[in-house]
Structures are given as C-alpha cells and as structure tokens.
Chain A
Amino acid sequence: MADVDWGNPFGWNEQQWASATWSQRFTFINPFFWSYLGVGLALGTSIIGAAWGIFITGVSLLGATVKAPRIRSKNLISVIFCEAVAIYGVIMAIIMIGKINSPDTVADIPTCYTQILFSGYAMFWTGFSVGLSNLICGVAVGVTGSGCAISDAQTPETFVKILVIEIFGSALGLFGVIVGIIESSNATYPKTC
C-alpha cells in the first residue's frame, strides 16, 4: 500500500486547493515538522535554562570563594541541580524520539493523517511545555544557588536552609517532565492505519 503523500495527503486538485481556507491550509503543514520541532524545543530550551542557571550560580560561587575558600565544594551542589535540569530535557527528547514513526501500511488516508496530525500537535506542545518549564527551573535554581553561596560565605548555618529552597525550585522542572510524559502518552504514530 502506498505511503501517505505528505505534500498532498487527500489528493486534492487545483480547484480544491484554490478554494481552501487558511485553517485547512494550516492542517496541511507536515505533522512531522511539528513533532521534530517539539523534540528540538524540549532539548534546546532545557539546556538554555541549565546553562543560564550554571552561570548565574557559578559567578557568585567563584566570587564568594575568594574570601571564604571553605564554601567551594559544598556549593557545587547548586551547579549539579542545574545540570539535572539539562538531563530532564535529554530524557524527554529521547522519549519523544522513540515515539515518532511513519506508518508502514496505510489503509484509510484521512484517519491516518488526522491521527498523525494530532500526534504531531501533541509532541510540539509537549516539547514547548517541558522546555519552557525547564528554562524557568534552571533560572530559579541558579538565582537561589547564587544567594546560597554568598550567604554560606558569610554564615555557614544558612547553607542547608537555602538548599531546601533550591530543592523546591528544582521540583519545577520535574513537574514539567511529568506533565510532558502524560501529554506525549496520547501521541500514537500507528504502524498500520
């Protein structure tokens, strides 16, 4: 059985294309474009958040260590929390890549195309939500970690208390991953449809 013709899935002729509405044309944007853009967003924006957090906290850590060298090793934990945000992005990207398939045999083209289109939209917004929440999580952990290093240099007792706040911050990224997994679970790319 022939594969879906992604350029013209319903086999429309010139006249049907000329009278198509904008919302119909929007649905003809290739579903795999949406899917893979979601993958790229999930990874790319998560890593932007992780890097942002690392440099926010790293700068304060290094500056405060000049006068209080004892804080150096303990406060690297803030950097590790930021790195974990990047790993959330990698996990989501690999889960999403594993789901995306093109169909082997196509029996009914409109149902097949609609199903794959739905999956494409689901993947795109999964990637967007995971990526954006990891971006914000990285910034949050970075700012908190920077405050943690500076106050630890001044008063050692405050380290553990601010670390608790950092853990709350890093939970934001986890929320994003949980919602992302639920969102992408409905996205099925059927092998036969």
Chain B
Amino acid sequence: MVLMVSTLQEVTGDDSRFFFGYIGVASALIFANLGSSYGTTKSGVGICSMGVLKPDLIMKSVIPVVMAGILGIYGMIVAVILQGKVSGSNSSKQGYAYLAAGLCCGLSSLSAGLAIGIVGDAGVRANAQQDRIFVGMILILIFAEALALYGLIVSLILSQTS
C-alpha cells in the first residue's frame, strides 16, 4: 500500500524491504567478525608455536593479528551506517540496496580474514626460519587486506543510493 509519511514525501515500497535491509546490517557485522576472528585465531596459533623457539620475533609477528582486527572495524562501520538508513528508507530500491551493501562488506571481510589468517600462520612460522621472508609476508597480507577494503568501498557506494 502507498503510505503518506509527510505531506511532501510519499513512501512506496513493499514492507519486506525492511526485512532484507536488516539482513544486510546483520550480515555485514556477522561475516566481518567471523573473518576477523578466523584471522586472529589462525595467525595467533602460528605465533604461539613459533614463539617457543624464537621469542624475539613475537612482537613483529603480531602484525597479521592487527590486520585481522581491522576487518571487524570495517564490518562495524558499515553496520552502524546501514542501521540508521534502513529504518528511514522510503523506496524499495533503497531497502534492497542496503541488503547488497551489507552482503558486500560482510563477504569481502570474511574472505579477507580467511586469507590473512592462513597466510599469517604460514608467514610467521616461515619468518622464524628465514629472516628475508618478513617483507614477502607483509606484501601478501597487504594484498589480502585490500580485498576487505574493496568490499568496504562498494558498500559505502551502495549505502548512498537514493
């Protein structure tokens, strides 16, 4: 049904856009945190195994854990931005765009977290055996982090739909 919200603004859209919009909000946060926790866990286990024999390298090896933590922040940013907009969406197009925004950020951060975790684990263990690997590990981690950034950028573009 067509609802009149104010005298100037007309709302047209089926009410299921709120359902899917909030799925977007939830998925942005949930998947980003899943990725972040996987990254932290996997590289953390590697650091603990490596640190037994090379305790001096532990602080340098915490970099993958920090990079994985950033992914949770991306998810939180997008979720907070979207939740304010979903309730105020006044057309179907906007509501479903917020679904896409949440999915983009969430799935990208999830996959970036998987990559950071697995590469971080292998990287810190290899770094303990060979000093020259550190730069290579950082480069691969940066490429993996960029994936989450792409998702964040497209989510922010989608959250601006009118």
Mark A residues whose CB is within 8 Å of B.
Answer: 2-8, 30, 32-33, 35-37, 39-41, 43-45, 47-48, 50-52, 54-55, 58-59, 61-63, 65-67, 69, 72-73, 76, 79-80, 82-83, 86-87, 89-90, 93-94, 97, 100-102
Q: List chain A residues, Cβ under 8 A from B143.
A: 54, 79-80, 82-83
Mark B residues whose CB is within 8 Å of A.
Answer: 1-2, 10, 12-17, 20, 91-93, 95-97, 99-101, 103-104, 106-108, 110-112, 114-115, 118-119, 122-123, 126, 129-130, 132-133, 135-137, 139-140, 143-144, 146-147, 150-151, 153-154, 157-158, 161
Q: A30-B16, A54-B140 are in contact. List 16 more A-B contacts (CB 8 A).
A: A6-B92, A7-B14, A32-B95, A32-B97, A36-B97, A36-B100, A47-B150, A51-B147, A54-B144, A54-B147, A59-B119, A62-B137, A65-B130, A67-B130, A82-B143, A102-B93
A-B pair count, CB < 8 Å, reads 171
Q: Are A72 and B158 in contact (CB under 8 A)?
A: no
Known: A44-B103, A47-B112. A55 touches B136 (CB 8 A): no
Q: Are B150 and A62 in contact (CB under 8 A)?
A: no
Q: Are B96 and A55 in contact (CB under 8 A)?
A: no
